[in-house]
A and B are shown apart, each in its own frame.
Chain A
């Protein structure tokens, strides 16, 4: 399991210096660590977080947006009619609820279609694993800089240490 402080430090070492989003339990440890470091600006909706990240990017920051995958639905229009067409990159840290059909009913459809959904709108994505963590972060940094669009890193349950062990 990846420690939350290692995850946050790795993001910071990549140059990410503006963090916003809407919480999910899987991301609880990361958000707690970001709040400890006074790096987190909470948003009330995921499309708002995406908008704030776009503004911060244009003002010189390197932004990340944290969200549950349900938030991809909420923020889809901002991602495709703002970030994609204006070439404004951000790192999307997305918890994969409903993966493998084992979750509360509201997560099952998004949990099943999420990778194809992002393929359809041409947002590159990758799933974080403990074994490939160095390659995963390197891939994010390279894709982010090269394509100047949002790049998604999926976080599955138990990969990054949460609030409750």
Chain B
């Protein structure tokens, strides 16, 4: 058990707090438990739930953000995903899309495959993002701080990263029920305007 374990909230609790602050912004949610939990907490057409292509959530969000510069685009990502697609931190940092908010739920494990450790306990991903060129980065541990910082990021020009240290608890959430092609069509229609 990590020293701060007892004080940490779960990813689902953090996600619920963030989703309360969002309305119609596109949200790209990485594969594994995060998509299942988001789907259970609030199933919105503006959610793009991933079931594969690990490491690419932020790249997909970047594509949406570049194509829709007037929409704030949110990524719900995990530490394993960010480590796998770490190059995208550099691409985002170099391109500097103002409408890009990268939320990382950092539980220091590959939760979906049985809690094998990642290396985010020794690699501070928000510092990597900052060095790569993200404009705003914050690392938070509790609900009050995450709500405060996320509200602030929604008002600021990005790219921004909010890294939330969470515990390993997994919400009892089933698989995402929509077929992948339906997720694509629903998401496209929802962000069309």
Contact = CB atoms under 8 A, between A and B. Distances in A.
Are these two chains actual partners, yes or no?
yes
Interface of A: 18, 20, 41-45, 47-61, 63, 77-78, 80-82, 85-88
Contact of A53 (B51, B63, B181, B187): B63
Given A47-B59, A51-B57, 15 more contacts: A41-B95, A42-B91, A47-B53, A52-B60, A52-B62, A55-B59, A55-B64, A55-B67, A56-B64, A59-B64, A59-B67, A59-B188, A60-B67, A77-B53, A86-B183
Given A51-B63, A52-B60, A58 B53 contact: no
A86 B88 CA distance: 21
A51 B26 CA distance: 15
Give chain B's interface residue range (CB within 8 Å of chain A).
Answer: 35 or more
Contacts of A42: 91
Contacts of B188: 58-60
B57 to A, nearest CB: 8
B90 A44 contact: yes
A52 B60 CA distance: 5
B136 interface: no
Given A48-B85, A81-B52, A54 B60 contact: yes
B180 A85 contact: yes
B62 A55 contact: yes
B66 A52 contact: yes
Interface string B59-94: 111111111100000000000000001011011000
B160 interface: no
A77 B184 CA distance: 18
Contacts of A20: 63
B66 A47 contact: no
Interface string B161-191: 0000000000000000000110110011001
12 contacts: A18-B66, A18-B67, A44-B91, A48-B56, A51-B56, A53-B63, A58-B184, A58-B191, A59-B26, A80-B52, A82-B52, A86-B180
B91 A82 contact: no
Contacts of B62: 51-52, 55
- Max chain B C-beta neighbours (<10 A), residue from A42, A43, A48: A48
B150 interface: no
Contacts of A43: 59, 91
Given A48-B88, A51-B59, A52-B66, A59 B52 contact: no
B181 to A, nearest CB: 4
B189 to A, nearest CB: 10
B53 A51 contact: yes
